[in-house]
Chain A
Amino acid sequence: MTRRLRQTLAVAEWELRRCFSWWHWLLAGTAVALEVLLDDRWRTWRITGVVVAGTALGTFLLLEGIRAERRDQVAEMMASAVSARTLLAGKALGTALYILLWLSVASYPAF
């Protein structure tokens, strides 16, 4: 495995872990509650809601993470360890995995 790939995976894992913040558990809890409370007439809305919420949250957490790194002044230490392109690729991969997780949750009722 090349250095760049190892770094990309490390960043992706970090981002994925970071996504499981209290925001995630709040939304996931709401989704579960809706699953229990709403009957099948609301199925389409339920699925759409989970997809939109997951995608929006993933994107929000990605941007918030980038903003937090600048605010916390950790960007300089990061930049010396990993190239900007690798960092972005890792962040994008981690966020994409997170959104995929939401999509798989949303598609669960279809099975």
Chain B
Amino acid sequence: MLAGLRVPEEGTVRFLPPEETGYLPERYALHAAQPVRRSLEYFGRLRGLTRSAARERAMQWLTRLQLEERGRERYRDLPAAAQRRVAIAAALLHAPKTVLLDEGFTDLDPATHDLLREEVRAMRAGGGAVLLTSSDLHADERLVDGVVLMNRGRAILQGGVTELRGKLYASGAPRLHDLFVEALRRDDAAARP
């Protein structure tokens, strides 16, 4: 719903227009048979950039990803790690104010992980918002301001990282990860008949 893919059955979801939002799905992909640079330009234009701006940003990103030599290659011909980097570029090319990263840090090589972390930090510093979903409970505490832990479609734990750290002492959990696991265990136990 936050990515604008589904209409809510009830209630409302408010989000910025496509020009100001970015989305990296869990199953990311660009057009397999098309040159990478052209695909990036296309996504830039769909997100509101002019033709020249989209071209410029695509080149900047390819240079940054050290893929400037491979811009004419088809997406499917790139190695998996490079495909992931290009998909990240497609989501962030237009410098959005809000970004939804669905399992954004999952299965990234170290260089791409660092790159994305830097991007998230830069967005935060610039007043942007990043919504990161992850099934990995080892959340990067230095990267996030707030956490919502979901189980069976419901939020069972939420709050700022500082606030949650306060709960650590009450729960006796040594790490934030253990607090999450404990919350999930209790929720599952409460749901059992």
Task: List A residues at the B interface (Cβ < 8 Å).
Answer: 3, 6-7, 10-11, 14, 17-18, 68-69, 71-74, 76-82
With A68-B31, A68-B33, A82-B18 as contacts: A76 and B25 at CB distance below 8 Å? yes
Chain B 17-37, CB within 8 Å of chain A: the 1/0 string? 111010111011111111000
User: Please, could you name 29 A-B residue pairs with CB atoms under 8 Å apart, sorted by A?
Assistant: A3-B18, A6-B45, A6-B48, A17-B38, A18-B34, A68-B31, A69-B31, A71-B32, A72-B29, A72-B31, A73-B29, A74-B29, A76-B3, A76-B5, A76-B25, A77-B24, A77-B25, A77-B28, A77-B30, A77-B87, A77-B91, A78-B46, A79-B5, A80-B5, A80-B25, A81-B18, A81-B23, A81-B43, A81-B46
With A77-B25, A79-B4, A79-B5 as contacts: A72 and B19 at CB distance below 8 Å? no
Q: Give chain B's interface residue range (CB within 8 Å of chain A).
A: 20 to 34
**Residue of B whose beta carbon sits closest to that of A87:** B46
Q: With a CB–CB cut-off of 8 A, which chain B residues contact A76?
A: 3, 5, 25, 27
A-B contact count (CB 8 A): 63
**Residue of B whose beta carbon sits closest to that of A3:** B48
A96 and B47 CA atoms in complex are apart in Å by 24
Q: With a CB–CB cut-off of 8 A, which chain B residues contact A7?
A: 45-46
Q: With a CB–CB cut-off of 8 A, which chain A residues contact B24?
A: 77
- Please tell me if B90 contacts chain A, counting CB pairs below 8 Å: yes
With A18-B34, A73-B27, A76-B27 as contacts: A10 and B17 at CB distance below 8 Å? no
Q: With a CB–CB cut-off of 8 A, which chain B residues contact A69?
A: 31
Q: Which 7 A-B pairs have the closest CB atoms?
A: A80-B23, A10-B45, A73-B29, A81-B46, A80-B3, A72-B32, A76-B25
Q: With a CB–CB cut-off of 8 A, which chain B residues contact A71?
A: 32
A3 and B28 CA atoms in complex are apart in Å by 24
A71 and B42 CA atoms in complex are apart in Å by 19
Q: For window 36-56 of chain B, which residues contact chain A by CB distance below 8 Å?
A: 38, 42-43, 45-48
